[in-house]
Structure 1
């Protein structure tokens, strides 16, 4: 479980094909001694299991493997050496919940269809598949590339968010442009409410 509060921006230093899908090494600022093998780390919103960790000189790193289903649903299939990814370690019991509850189980992808620069923020508008859009209400929460964000407007298959300078500076969002695709996870509470509503209509 995660909160959508990015704690580091990692850099892909190795991306290689394996029988199961992809194996990636991500350089990070986490102390490798504090990362357990088998631990969960959200990489741009996608929950991955750590399969190795270590240090090259002063540079810490960890490795993850991405299976076929992950490659089909997310942007991980397009990862390449040099790419930057938002990182968040799993939520510890008793820790502050700064964003919203995020599982790291990406539903699909959203596409940036509009980007506007404002004096104190950046406006981004996204499009997504109808089956996801119904779970994204105005003023609700959504996780995009592992970042917990508040929905500004929602209309049909589009929705928008505003990003403040702090978010732009401590995540990969400062690099995102129109046409880019990002990982989308809808609020799990909205999903549960919709499921209950289905049964109440029967």
Structure 2
């Protein structure tokens, strides 16, 4: 589990393609590796990767073919910058939101402009993921926890404050770029719960979890 608060920007030092899989060597920048050991998890541009080799200034990790297909790693090259975050501990401050590191798909940057000192982006999400993106909800872009400021069908708007821009790779995004997208974990589980609750309610005659029940309970406006 992660928070979406980036600890360092790393660099892809080596990419080995092994059939459909990939083995990465990542230079970790300022990331503190003193407590990292084999088998630990590090979110690399939002993808939860398992450390298979520890280096003095980085780590080696494997990416499965399925993960490659769902993320931007299929197009990354040696020298690509990546956002890094170590897995949370019981003492970690939850400064962002609950992030699993399981990327749902790829979004595309449609617009980029400055608003004051902040950078404002409009992105397009895959249609099948749009229903999980809500105004003022949380979303993860290349591992960065962000707040959705506006939603219009399959597009959504993000505002990147100067500190976040300076500490992540988002400052380099331009129109047409693709980013790893992880939707809100709670939204996905809630949808699944409602599916099963509806089936159970129909068989037992009960109400179950419905949109009306959520609205009456204050979860929806």
| Same-fold call, TM cutoff 0.5 | yes
- Aligned partners of 1:45, 1:108: CA distance in 2, in Å? 11
- Aligned partners of 2:20, 2:126: CA distance in 1, in Å? 27
- Aligned partners of 1:52, 1:91: CA distance in 2, in Å? 20
CA distances 1:20-78 after superposition (whole Å, capped 9, x unpaired)? 611111111234442111110000000000011112xxxx1111111100110000111
- Aligned partners of 2:196, 2:15: CA distance in 1, in Å? 44
1:104-119 to 2 correspondence within 5 Å?
A: 104-119=101-116
CA distances 1:152-174 after superposition (whole Å, capped 9, x unpaired)? 00121111110000000000011
Q: Name the TM-score, length of structure 2 as normaliser.
A: 0.86
Aligned 8 A contact 1:112 1:126 in 2 = yes
CA distances 1:93-119 after superposition (whole Å, capped 9, x unpaired)? 132100000000000000000111122
1:5-24 to 2 correspondence within 5 Å?
A: 5-19=5-19, 21-24=21-24
Aligned length: 198
Aligned 8 A contact 1:50 1:64 in 2 = yes
Aligned 8 A contact 1:116 1:122 in 2 = yes
1:10-89 to 2 correspondence within 5 Å?
A: 10-19=10-19, 21-28=21-28, 29-55=30-56, 60-89=57-86
- Larger RCO, structures 1/2 (Cα 8 Å, 6+ apart): 1
* Match for residue 194 of structure 1 among 191, 195, 198: 191
CA distances 1:83-142 after superposition (whole Å, capped 9, x unpaired)? 100000001013210000000000000000011112221110111112111000000000
Aligned 8 A contact 1:20 1:66 in 2 = no
Comparing 84-93 with 13-22, greater Cα deviation is found at 13-22
- Aligned partners of 2:46, 2:189: CA distance in 1, in Å? 20
* Match for residue 96 of structure 2 among 80, 87, 99: 99
- Aligned partners of 1:164, 1:39: CA distance in 2, in Å? 30
Q: Name the TM-score, length of structure 1 as normaliser.
A: 0.94
Instruction: Quote the residue 2:2 is aligned against.
Output: 2
2:187 counterpart SS class? helix
Higher strand proportion, which one?
1
The alpha-carbon deviation at position 195 of structure 1 amounts to: 2.1
